[in-house]
Structure 1
């Protein structure tokens, strides 16, 4: 229900949506202030051959370039937001839209996010550079999202197309998957649960 309401507000009432987003970000940052400070330690702990870190405002141009360099088919099932520099900068500055980067030396090879809400829910999304697929990065991103989500005490949700078996396999590699409903566009609305 919340998922549908959010999309109606975003698509039809832009000003109201911006106001809701601003209020959500402020309240979320205040109520999770202590936990949010612990995220860099989780990212450092999970880094190895790849470096994981929170995105910063200065990363917006490189992140926009990362998206431009991905083939068109990478966006068939991944359209959580626009990918231009201005939009990415707005997202990175949103205190409730936690954006993460996976780096191979200095190059961005992965992007993932947790869009968090004051009602105790988060929505996840991720992308791996087309030349780095098959190296376990999607699984790594999923594991990190689980750890951050647990730290923040949130329930994690998302959507997966039934025509995207790779995404479902990556989700099942790190979570128990509970399909809540099928959305109007045919995607599964899913809750990602901790593995038992």
Structure 2
């Protein structure tokens, strides 16, 4: 099933758009209120007083586009969940099953993470940290924050992760028990992030 969805996403974009729209509407009907209540005070879910986490809103998208344009090319080797131009970001931001989160340090966007929810009570996460802010535990805190959101939402949390993405694996293992569900083509794992025991 995962392979099929990944194939549709990357090769049959029209069909994927329909799938996303249907999922967005169904998720909103079933869980929209729960998501709104969970993230209305998103900043209080973080243990880091030096960081400010907040949902990305429409007026933040230009800044997010600038953030992506300033990242080195190698930053996207393992991170390519959606388009990074303004129109693509607007489309994602309108998706009711997609939560975009900005991490700010000293009023500068230091990192971005997201949760893509599905109506079957599963979510997928992704995260990226500006190289200028790496090594400060920001990716780890984003992982902890998204895990906590899913725990409160009562959703299972998954991701696809490259075997070669050593930094991401390390930050994930710091906050989650990582269960390999399946090995995917091109050296990727399909993993479930579990609460630390």
Q: Per the shorter chain, which TM-score range?
A: over 0.9
2:37 is aligned with 1:40: no
Once the 2 structures are TM-superposed, how far is the Cα of residue 41 of structure 1 from its aligned partner?
1.6
| Matched residue, 1:92 | 93
RMSD: 1.4
Residue 14 of structure 1 pairs with residue 13 of structure 2: yes
Are 1:71 and 2:72 an aligned pair? Answer: yes
Q: Displacement, 1:191?
A: 0.7
- Which stretches in structure 2 are left out of the alignment for 5+ residues? none
CA contact (8 A) 1:44 1:51 kept: no
| CA distance 1:87–1:172, shift in 2 (3 Å) | same
Secondary structure of the 2:192 match is strand
The equivalent of 2:153 in structure 1 is: 152
CA distance in 2, matches of 1:12, 1:194: 33
- SS of the aligned residue for 1:70 comes to coil
Contact 2:42 2:53 in 1 (8 A): no
Distance 1:29 1:52 in 2: 23
Aligned to 1:32, the other structure's residue is in SS state helix
CA distance in 1, matches of 2:142, 2:65: 19
Q: Does structure 2 conserve the Cα–Cα contact (< 8 Å) formed by 1:44 and 1:53?
A: no
Deviating beyond 3 angstroms after TM superposition, the runs of 4 or more aligned structure 1 residues are none
Cα shift at 1:162: 1.2
Taking the aligned partners of 1:126 and 1:150, their CA distance within structure 2 comes to: 18
Cα separation, partners in 2 of 1:12 and 1:163, compared to 1, 3 Å: closer
Are the aligned partners of 1:181 and 1:189 in contact in 2 as well (CA < 8 Å)? yes
TM-score (norm 1): 0.94
Partners of 2:165 and 2:10 in 1: CA distance: 25
C-alpha distance after superposition, 1:79-108 (max 9, x if no partner): 111211111111111110111000123321
User: Is the 1:42–1:147 contact (alpha carbons within 8 Å) kept by the matching residues of 2?
Assistant: no
CA–CA distance in structure 2, aligned partners of residues 158 and 144 of structure 1: 15
CA distance in 2, matches of 1:19, 1:165: 34
CA distance in 1: counterparts of 2:83 and 2:142, whole angstroms = 21
Displacement of 1:149 in angstroms is 0.5
C-alpha displacement of 1:116: 0.5
Q: TM-score, normalised by structure 2?
A: 0.94
